[in-house]
Structure 1
Amino acid sequence: MKTNTDLTIRRSGERGHVDHGWLDSRFTFSFADYYDPSHMGFRSLRVINDDRVAPGGGFPTHPHRDMEIFSYVLDGALAHQDSMGNARTIKPGQIQVMSAGSGVTHSEFNPSSTEMVHLLQIWIIPNQRGLTPRYTEWAPSAEQDSASKVLVISADGRDGSATIAQDADIWRLKLQPGESSAHTLAPGRGLWLHLIRGQADVNGAGISPGDAASTERPGEYILSAGDEAVEALLFDLR
């Protein structure tokens, strides 16, 4: 749906959906058996899966290559193991980043026997194939945890962000009721914003949890929270 703000709004209910019992997932872009030719990705962004994994459930060991993959844990915990020797458990607010490169195998499980884990799984195409696989994490400092806008992933690792092999800046936004945050999109780049929690407004367009707003028009874009706290991820992509 187009708005008069030059934004394209992708509503939560328009996403693909699958419920396997152990996994309830909504797909922003075409993924697995969900195919939507009008939503194959946005620039280098290929996957935003909104996953809820039941206690004890998870993704058994499987391979990936030539993809920058990161998981942002929203609730619960996510246990990760991979062929590079990493074994980590990620908690809410933390992000794990895996550059699959020339090839890696990994598994992701919910280690809890009672609580669901809710996460966003995101894939970005790297700027080069066959890179050496690597794993890293991002966790907010006390100051960053409450900051309205924090750079969490970038190509150059500035401001303590995790790095990926692509010209992409990913920002985590956390706004208190009535608060706003601005982002300026430079010429030649694209913006994709995924709302995680709360009711918000982007340049006059109202959005709800699971909705996305995108644009390729340069300029200033302002995310404003309504009467409740808001959390979102903002992608600035070449």
Structure 2
Amino acid sequence: MITIRNANDRGHANFGWLDSHHTFSFGSYYDPQQMGFSHLRVINDDTVAPSAGFDTHGHKDMEIISYVLQGRIAHKDSAGNIKELPVGEFQLMSAGKGVFHSEFNASDKDTLKFLQIWIEPNVIGGKPGYQQKAFGNEHGLTSIITPDGRDGTLSIKQDAQLFQLILDTEKEQTISIKPDRSLYIHQVEGEVTLTDGTVLTQGDGAKIRLEEAITLKNAGQQQAKALIFDLA
């Protein structure tokens, strides 16, 4: 079963310094039909003005992923991490028993665009953690996050995996889905056509349940990029 989450149907908040689109219920946007998918709780598509950002605030018991699409994030947290996250890199912050952090646009002239993703953990409490890594732009499917951090991936406190998919025009990728697993696809750029003929464009999502496999084909005129979440 494939259920589409159209980009134009997402929640929207604009504070001037921040323009954000919410795939799932977040902040003042509430839709009881969009409370997340499995352990995936938040996908916010954020655009941040130069020199602006999220002031210091706290989180607890959440796995928080940031993926930069344009610009650079200046990160600072109460665990002593002071980092910059450039375009194309992934950051995974495990809030654990509690952490305070700020995320700012590191540029005073360029716009920052990034995805903010929350996944509920299967371990409560514990020491906060911070991971950051670039995985390049290899075509096909690249493993980004796994429960055990295997093969150089980032390690998450949940039975979940995150993949990056990059397809050139006319290329396709078939993904096998294990029994009792579901996939969530978030289209980052370009477009892909799914097995059932549905076309995903930038910002669209797809909830995949009770399927043995899904094929994504780039029938567009530019490179396509998507994030694929494998969830229990």
Q: TM-score, normalized by length of structure 2?
A: 0.97
Q: How many residues in Structure 1 have an aligned counterpart in Structure 2?
A: 230
User: 2 CA distance for matches of 1:216 and 1:23?
Assistant: 33
1:132 to 127, 130, 134: 127
The residue that corresponds to 2:53 in the other structure is 58
Q: Does 1:211 align with 2:204?
A: yes
Q: Does 1:69 align with 2:57?
A: no
* Deviation of the 1:76 alpha carbon: 0.5
* Deviation of the 1:14 alpha carbon: 0.4
Instruction: Please list the CA deviations of residues 129-156 of structure 1 after superposition, one character each: whole Å capped at 9, or x if unmatched.
Output: 112111011212xxx4223210101101
* Deviation of the 1:200 alpha carbon: 1.3
**Matching residue's letter, 1:20:** F
The residue that corresponds to 2:192 in the other structure is 200
Q: Does 1:157 align with 2:161?
A: no
The residue that corresponds to 2:35 in the other structure is 40
User: 2 CA distance for matches of 1:8 and 1:177?
Assistant: 24
* Deviation of the 1:177 alpha carbon: 1.0
2:118 to 123, 128, 144: 123
Following superposition, which runs of at least 4 residues in structure 1 exceed 6 angstroms of deviation? none
User: 2 CA distance for matches of 1:215 and 1:177?
Assistant: 23
Pairwise CA RMSD of aligned residues?
0.9
Q: Does 1:111 align with 2:103?
A: no
The residue that corresponds to 1:3 in the other structure is none
> Structure 1, unaligned stretches of length 5 or more?
1-5
The residue that corresponds to 1:221 in the other structure is 214
The residue that corresponds to 1:169 in the other structure is 161
Q: State whether residues 139 and 168 of structure 2, in contact with CA within 8 Å, keep that contact through their aligned partners in structure 1.
A: no
User: 2 CA distance for matches of 1:224 and 1:118?
Assistant: 26
The residue that corresponds to 1:233 in the other structure is 227
User: 2 CA distance for matches of 1:85 and 1:125?
Assistant: 23
Report the 3-state secondary structure (helix = DSSP H, G, I; strand = E; otherwise coil) of the residue aligned with 1:145: coil
Q: TM-score, normalized by length of structure 1?
A: 0.95
User: 2 CA distance for matches of 1:126 and 1:97?
Assistant: 12
The residue that corresponds to 2:20 in the other structure is 25
User: 1 CA distance for matches of 2:150 and 2:172?
Assistant: 23
User: 1 CA distance for matches of 2:34 and 2:206?
Assistant: 13
**Matching residue's letter, 2:45:** D
Instruction: Please list the CA deviations of residues 143-180 of structure 1 after superposition, one character each: whole Å capped at 9, or x if unmatched.
Output: x4223210101101122110010010100111111111
1:15 to 10, 18, 21: 10
The residue that corresponds to 1:101 in the other structure is 96
Q: Does 1:187 align with 2:187?
A: no
